[in-house]
């Protein structure tokens, strides 16, 4: 079923295009400076943010959709490109471009009912992947799921598309649509009760983001280690185009007649002779798949997210030692730990060069014990 016809979006969004004000949009532009990543199309993009981008993300504009009753939405991939089968981590952003306060429900919908995200194939527009998905969980709403945005205020929530996009690689598009949440009581338990209890007048429009470019890249050339049972681990050339280094991590299994799933968190990393693991608080995405009929899959290891392995670690307050790398050569090797089969598959070791000044752009990941409730990040106001 097509995205637009399912959510009755395009026509209603066009009718509401005149609901925003120039002052509100300008205020929202200022408030959303931290909401970076992804080139905008087809709407006029925001200016690049003046503050550093989040760890591992690029500083690029957003693609906002048409304003509906004062609210615009956008979709922003955490990275500009993903490998085939790699989970796609992205933000859903809301901003108030009106001259009045608006309350929005930013609860993550697990049923593709009133919040739906799709990745479309280039050219045909057919759906290649959809999300988010919570495997049938029917969570109740909480008061913190409702955020009141002042004029120019914005909020965002991070979600993940499980399973990613299968080959072929190419330039895809990402889009989010919001349907009328007040019609979805049977799926989102407690909406009406929450509104009555807290006297909430919640925005219940139908809107969609503009199309956001999303690149699915080919499998890169890799330096492979020796075969461990039926598994081989490979490492690609590190990508230094983002504020922190992203290293392609590949597994080769041989052509399979079924879909296989692996986890990024099972990669160990040997960096300059020391052992590290991925910080579990830095990313919601973990799984990556080998599609049926394919012989390998890939994910990315963000070097700035690594923490020392094999010792006690304060996940909340300790700095990430590799968030800023010293200029010069560095050595890295990956080891995939298959805990069920009790197999370790190492890649070859490679050396790469960090240019002077590169690490100055990368903020150290910060994890606060008192984060915004349920993953929300308020911006502005």
Query: 193-202, 204-213, 355-364: which range is least confident on average?
Result: 355-364
Tell me what pLDDT residue 67 has. Answer: 94
Tell me what pLDDT residue 56 has. Answer: 43
CATH 2.60.200 fits 222-361, yes or no: no
200 burial class (0-12, 13-18, 19+ CB within 10 angstroms)?
Answer: middle
**How does residue 130 score in pLDDT terms, banded at 50, 70 and 90?**
confident
Cα–Cα distance measured from residue 35 to residue 29, given in angstroms and rounded to the nearest whole number? 10
Q: Where are the domains of the chain?
A: 3-217, 222-361
Residues in the chain: 381
**How does residue 248 score in pLDDT terms, banded at 50, 70 and 90?**
very high
Tell me what pLDDT residue 189 has. Answer: 59
pLDDT tens profile 337-351: 987 778 899 999 999
Asked if 50 contacts 175 with a C-beta cutoff of 8 angstroms, the reply is no
Tell me what pLDDT residue 354 has. Answer: 92
DSSP 19: G
Q: How far is CA 288 from CA 43, 201, 250, 300, in A?
A: 32, 40, 10, 10
Cα–Cα distance measured from residue 286 to residue 299, given in angstroms and rounded to the nearest whole number? 9
186 burial class (0-12, 13-18, 19+ CB within 10 angstroms)?
Answer: exposed
pTM here is 0.74
Mean pLDDT over 123-148 rounds to 73
- Per CATH, 3-217 and 222-361 having the same topology is answered yes
pLDDT tens profile 150-169: 999 999 888 888 888 887 88
Mean pLDDT over 268-276 rounds to 95
* β-bridge pairing 287-290 and 296-302: unpaired
Tell me what pLDDT residue 313 has. Answer: 55
- CA 288 and chain centroid, separation: 14
Mean pLDDT estimate for the chain = 75
Q: Which residues, in sequence order, are CB contacts of 109 under 8 Å at separation 6+?
A: 115, 116, 132, 184, 187, 188
Q: Under CATH, what is the fold of the domain 3-217?
A: Immunoglobulin-like (2.60.40)
**How does residue 284 score in pLDDT terms, banded at 50, 70 and 90?**
confident
Cα–Cα distance measured from residue 378 to residue 106, given in angstroms and rounded to the nearest whole number? 11
């Amino acid at each position: 079923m097509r995205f637009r016809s399912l959510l009755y979006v395009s026509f209603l969004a066009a009718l509401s295009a005149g609901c925003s004000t120039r002052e509100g949009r300008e205020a929202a532009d200022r408030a959303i400076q931290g909401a970076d990543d992804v080139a905008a199309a087809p709407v006029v993009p925001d200016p690049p943010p003046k503050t550093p981008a989040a760890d591992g993300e690029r500083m690029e504009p957003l693609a906002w959709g048409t304003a509906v009753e004062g609210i615009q939405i956008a979709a922003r991939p955490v990275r500009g490109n993903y490998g085939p089968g790699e989970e796609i981590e992205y933000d859903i952003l809301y901003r108030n471009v009106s001259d009045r306060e608006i309350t929005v429900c930013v609860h993550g919908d697990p049923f593709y009912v009133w919040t739906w995200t799709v990745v479309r194939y280039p050219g045909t527009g057919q759906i290649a992947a959809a999300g988010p998905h919570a495997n049938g969980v029917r969570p109740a709403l909480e008061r913190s799921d409702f955020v009141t945005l002042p004029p120019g205020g914005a909020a965002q929530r991070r979600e993940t598309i499980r399973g990613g996009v299968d080959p072929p690689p190419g330039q895809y598009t990402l889009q989010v649509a919001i349907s009328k949440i007040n019609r979805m009581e049977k799926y989102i338990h407690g909406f009406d009760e929450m509104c009555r209890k807290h006297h909430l007048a919640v925005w219940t429009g139908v809107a969609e983001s503009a199309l956001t470019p999303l690149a699915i890249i080919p499998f890169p050339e890799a330096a492979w280690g020796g075969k461990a049972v039926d598994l081989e681990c490979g490492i690609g050339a590190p990508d230094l185009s983002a504020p922190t280094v992203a290293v392609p991590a590949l597994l080769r299994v041989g052509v399979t007649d079924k879909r296989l799933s692996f986890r990024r968190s099972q990669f160990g990393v040997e960096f300059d002779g020391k052992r590290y693991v991925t910080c579990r608080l830095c990313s919601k995405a973990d799984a990556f798949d080998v599609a049926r009929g394919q012989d390998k899959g890939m994910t990315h290891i963000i070097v700035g997210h690594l923490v020392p392995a094999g010792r006690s670690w304060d996940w909340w307050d300790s700095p990430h030692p590799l968030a800023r790398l010293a200029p010069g050569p560095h050595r890295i090797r990956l080891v995939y730990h298959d805990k069920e089969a009790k197999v370790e598959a190492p890649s070859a070791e490679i050396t790469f060069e960090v240019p002077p000044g590169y690490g100055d752009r990368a903020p150290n990941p910060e994890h606060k014990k008192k984060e915004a409730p349920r993953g929300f990040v308020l911006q502005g106001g």
